[in-house]
Amino acid sequence: MSLKDLISPFYVWQRAFEKPYTQKRPIEDRPGAPRYRGFHMNSEDCIGCGTCETICQNHAIDMVPVEGLEQRSGDSGLRPRFDYGRCCWCALCVDICTTRSLRMSNHYAWITEDPDAFHFTAGTDAMPWNQNSLGYRRDDDYHLLVHERIDMQALGAEESVAGFDEVMKGYTEEQAVLEADRCVECGICVATCPAHMAIPDYIRAVRQRDYEAGLRLLYETNPFSSTCGRICTHRCETVCVMGYQGDPIAIRWLKRAIVDRVPAERYREILGDEVVENGRKVGVIGAGPGGMSAAYYLRRQGYAVTVYESQARAGGMLRYGVPSYRLPDDQLDKDLEYIRSLGVEVKFNTHIGRDVPFRQLIEDYDALFLAVGLNQPSALRIQGEEHPRVLSGLQVLDDVASGRDPGVGSKVAVIGGGNVAMDAARVSRRLGADVTVLYRRRIEDMPADPEEIHESQAEGCKLVQQAIPVEIKNAASTSQVTIVWGEAEMIADDKGGRPRPVLQEDRMHEETYDCIIAAIGQGGQLDFIPAEYRDRIEFKWNKFVPGEYQQTGLPKLFVGGDIANSRADAISAIEDGHHAARGIHRFLTGTLDG
Amino acid sequence: MHTVDEILDFAIEREQQAADFYSNLAERANSAWMKEMLLGFSKEEMRHKGKLKSVKLGDRLLNADQHVQDLKIADYLVDVEPAEDISLQDALIVAMKREKAAYRLYSDMARAIDDPELKTMFLGLAQEEAKHKLYFEVQYDDQIMRDN
């Protein structure tokens, strides 16, 4: 061994007095780049659609319930939970986020001794990076989703007012597939649809051009799909996640796209409805959407169903209150005839109370479903209302649906802002009249469908808002009528309801018309129910208050439709009928208390 | 000269009369929901009566200066007769017009009197009636003029 070898270990010590070559704190935080893809952040705009979970290629995201967050219309109540053992930081979740609530911070260091800690629910769990203003955001001009709706061919305003042809022409197959392709299948819409239709599933059926599967899905919850494909109030679209950054999916039109491609003759074969009689019989009062929906689902369960209808044709307000340019008769008949083809008997021109006592129905049937709708127009109750040139909106629509001339003349004022008012106005335009709509509130407060309001304006109806009718007077000509109306100031409602109009007596107007069509609302008529029964039924204001499964205090009696719900639209009546059918089946099989 | 207690007794009696009016009408009504409705109106009047009784025992009326919104619906609707086949619409009109008449009565009495304590009492009662009228006008707006 050389001397050098012997003393070399001591050379090391001279290094002990030099500056270190290594960093003293190698893991000291260093800021990430401004657009670094760090830990996720989620804002309160998140509605839990789960599109981030769907697109994540590594299954690093699970949608989970969050304590204190309730499920509500348009919000699933779930939020994305991240597993950072799986996340590859690709940011697809951020790029696809429908509400742009999901972002990434530029924070990248998370040190803990707990190996299970790297799961967290973005936006909910308290994390140091939650308020981070830097990190990855989707660029404004970068879109993974198609935000523009595929337009549907429609008659122009001039063509439209020339007759009663259907305005909307339906999607071509290619258009329907393109529109269906925009859907992210989040299912947020399902909870908002009163009938809870399988919307993402039937949209997928459109995408796959599998209309038979689509029809089966529609009929699980809605036997009026041809009708609803045209005139549904489409509450589903109001919560569609695609509406946050663009147009909501045309869910209603896609429903129509299915039924338009399946001929009525093939319904039975496709739906496979086989009726096995069960020996029980159920009566239904009213052949509108509620009554016929109940009839359909009861018949499928094997009940002998008889429907009592006061009018000459089935359909209720769909027939007599919705003009053919929105819902052609043959399309309503397509739905109704299929229901009747299963053996549902309809007794037309039969008034309960007058032609058949209510007591007899209660005694003769194992159960009864009542859905008579709201068919009594509310009176204006202002001075001079009895003038012969004051017509009811419902009567005008009934006349037109029945092929009679309502005789509106050439200058018409319509009072009201609901669908009946809009349809009375549009029908009058088609009959050649100049039309002015007087509405007490503002256009944005109108209960009519926005499409109806827009189309009525496009067709030339003049909308006067904040106009309160106060008196009807004789005009110089007996074939005319004069209305006095005052301007309204809107005041906020303390309880968060619609703003309320208040008459300004110093701003009055007077105008003469050939007729005034009143369409301010409708009520029901239930005088046919004898006192011995009605005393056992709960009412609030002018409506039934049904219990579980639409059952009333009279155990055999189930109720639904406009006379028993606050929404007063076809899809809600259809759901009431379906729900009551389930209730009646439970009642008659002993699983629902009577 | 009337005392505050006498005025309150008068107002309490009026509320009782109103409650009786609706319950009598309910008995004669031939439709189920109208019976329910009118009995509800009667209960509402009894609630008002209860409130006035508690004022007599020391509770406070509405402040005479407190603003109660007047929707003026009762002003432009025609008078209707409370018949046996009365509808919801007409029942609401009857109710709002009765409350309006009561409001006017107390307002007129307040104007006609000099005693500041009694004037305040009448104005407070008028405000109470204005509030009751507003309740029926709001119901009319919501239930009858849904599409208007």
- The tally of domains found in chain A comes to 4
What is residue A593's predicted lDDT score, i.e. its pLDDT? 66
CB A259 within 8 A of CB A225: yes
CA distance B93 to B97: 6
For residue A247, the domain's CATH number is 1.10.1060.10
Domain covering B4-144 assigned CATH 1.20.1260.10 in the classification: yes
The SS3 call for residue A463 is strand
**B81: helix, coil or strand?**
coil
Report the pLDDT averaged over residues B9-27.
89
User: Average per-residue pLDDT in chain A?
Assistant: 94
**What CATH number is attached to the domain comprising A487?**
3.50.50.60
CB A316 within 8 A of CB A356: no
A388 shares its domain with A424: yes
Mean pLDDT value across residues A4-15: 77
CB contact under 8 A, A521 and B144: yes
**Residue B62 pLDDT level (bands cut at 50, 70, 90):** low
Q: Which backbone phi and psi does A456 adopt, to 5 degrees?
A: -65, -40
Q: Are A306 and A281 in contact (CB under 8 A)?
A: yes
**pLDDT: which is higher, A587 or B63:** A587
Mean pLDDT of A1-22: 76
Query: Could you tell me the two tokens for A497?
Result: 């309801």
Nearest CA in chain A to B90: A381
Q: Are A428 and A435 in contact (CB under 8 A)?
A: yes
CA separation for the pair A352, A362 (Å, rounded):
11
Closest in B69, B76, B148 to A417, CB measured: B148
Domain extents in chain B: 4-144
Can you give the length of chain A in residues? 594
User: DSSP readout, B4-39?
Assistant: HHHHHHHHHHHHHHHHHHHHHHHHH--SHHHHHHHH
pLDDT band at A535 (very low <50, low <70, confident <90, very high): confident
Contact present, A310 and A349 (Cβ < 8 Å) = yes
Over 90: is that where the pLDDT of A5 sits? no
Distance CA(A101)–CA(A45), nearest Å, equals: 5
Question: Angle, to 10 degrees, between the axis of helix A199-207 and the axis of helix A251-259?
Answer: 60
Residue A221 is assigned to a structural domain of this protein? yes
Among the candidates A248, A269, A290, a domain finishes at A269
Q: Is B132 left (phi over 0), alpha (psi -120 to 50) or beta?
A: alpha
Whether A382 and B80 lie within 8 Å, measured CB to CB:
no
Cα–Cα distance between A258 and A526 in angstroms, integer?
38
**φ, ψ (nearest 5 deg) of residue A361:** -65, -45
> Range with the lowest mean pLDDT among A50-59, A95-104, A413-422, A490-499?
A490-499
Q: Is residue A22 part of a domain?
A: no
Q: b/e for B112-148, b at 16 or more Cβ within 10 A?
A: ebeeeebbbbbbbbbbbbbbbbbebbbbbbebbbbbb
| Residue A420 and residue A394 share a domain | yes
Q: Edge-to-edge, what's the strand order for the sheet holding A304-308?
A: A345-347, A304-308, A281-285, A367-370, A557-559
Task: Determine the Cα–Cα distance for residues B32 and B26; give it in Å rounded to an integer.
Answer: 9
In 3D space, the residue among A386, A300, A282 whose CA is nearest the CA of residue A342 turns out to be A300
Domain assignment present for residue A386? The answer is yes
Q: In whole angstroms, give the CA distance from residue B56 to residue B37.
A: 29
Q: Are A454 and A426 in contact (CB under 8 A)?
A: no
Tell me: the pLDDT tens digits for B24-37?
888 888 776 778 78
Q: Are A481 and A389 in contact (CB under 8 A)?
A: yes
Q: In this predicted model, what pLDDT tens digit does every residue of A282-340 receive, in sequence order?
A: 999 999 999 999 999 999 999 999 999 999 999 999 999 999 999 999 999 999 999 99
Asked if A518 contacts A391 with a C-beta cutoff of 8 angstroms, the reply is yes
The token pair that represents A505 in the structure block: 């007596």
A41, A87, A95, A103, A128 from A90: Cα distances, Å: 15, 8, 9, 12, 21
Q: Is the pLDDT of residue B132 over 60?
A: yes
Cα A485 to the center of its chain, rounded Å: 34
Closest CA to A375 of A418, A328, A321, A335: A321
Residue in chain B lying closest to A523 (CA): B144
Q: For residue A149, is it within any domain?
A: no
pLDDT for A479 beyond 90 = yes
Nearest to B146 among A379, A418, A538 (CB): A418
Q: Are residues A168 and A252 in the same domain?
A: yes
A100 phi and psi, to 5 degrees?
Answer: 60, 25
pTM: 0.88
In a domain, A454, yes or no: yes
ipTM of the complex: 0.85
* pLDDT band of A580, cuts 50, 70, 90: very high
Q: Are residues A514 and A440 in the same domain?
A: yes
Paired residues of A474 in beta bridges: A481
How high is the pLDDT of residue A405?
Answer: 96
Domain with residue A94: its CATH number is 3.30.70.3270
Least confident of A19-33, A331-345, A410-424: A19-33
The three-class DSSP label of residue A128 is coil
Is the pLDDT assigned to residue A19 strictly greater than 80? Answer: no
Inter-chain touch B77–A421, beta carbons under 8 Å: no
Which of A378, A420, A527 is closest, CB to CB, to B144?
A: A378
Asked if B90 lies within 8 A of A497 by C-beta distance, the reply is no
Using the Cβ of B148 and the Cβ atoms of chain A, whether some distance falls under 8 Å is answered with yes
Task: State which of A33-47, B83-97, B112-126 shows the largest mean pLDDT.
Answer: A33-47
* Domain termination residue (choose one: A234, A269, A304): A269
Q: Is the pLDDT of residue B79 over 90?
A: yes
- Assigned token pair, A571: 């899809």
Position of tokens 């657009």? A35
Q: Which domain holds residue A404?
A: 377-491+499-522
pLDDT tens track for A238-258: 999 999 999 999 999 999 999
Burial (0-12, 13-18, 19+ Cβ within 10 Å), A118: middle
Assigned domain for A413 exists? yes
Q: Which of the listed residues A121, A137, A166 is the one where a domain comes to its end?
A: A121
Task: Select the residue from B33, B75, B84, B143 to test the A interface by mutation, using most A Cβ atoms within 10 A.
Answer: B33
Confidence of residue A2 (pLDDT cuts 50, 70, 90): confident
pLDDT for res B48: 83
A215 and A255 in a single domain? The answer is yes
- Name residue A377's beta-bridge partners: A522
pLDDT at A27: 64
Is residue A236, in this structure, part of any structural domain at all? yes
Q: What share of chain B is helix, strand, coil (3-state, %, to 5)?
A: 75, 0, 25
Q: What is the pLDDT of residue A536?
A: 87
Give, in order, the Cα–Cα distances in Å from A262 to each of A152, A196, A271, A344.
Answer: 19, 22, 11, 22
Instruction: Supply the pLDDT for residue A114.
Output: 84
Mark whether A357 and A385 lie in a shared domain. Answer: no
Round to whole Å and give the CA distance between B64 and A424: 46
| Single-letter amino acid code for the residue at A365 | Y
Tokens of A431: 């009959």
Q: Are B19 and B132 in contact (CB under 8 A)?
A: no
The pLDDT assigned to A594 comes to 58
> How big, in percent rounded to 5, are the helix, strand and coil portions of chain A?
30, 20, 50
In a shared domain, residues A179 and A304: no
Q: Provide the shortest C-alpha distance from residue A558 to chain B (in Å).
A: 16
Q: What is the pLDDT of residue B97?
A: 94
* List of chain B residues whose C-beta atoms are within 8 Å of the C-beta of residue A420: 147
| Average of per-residue pLDDT values in chain B | 85
Total residue length of chain B: 148
pLDDT at B32: 67
Q: What is the pLDDT of residue A531?
A: 80
Q: Is residue A177 part of a domain?
A: yes
Does residue A514 share a domain with residue A528? no
Q: B33: which 2 tokens? A: 């929901």
Average pLDDT of the residues in A409-426: 97
CA A527 → CA A354, A570, B23, B86, distances in Å?
Answer: 11, 24, 20, 12
Q: Which residue has the higher pLDDT, A48 or B29?
A: A48
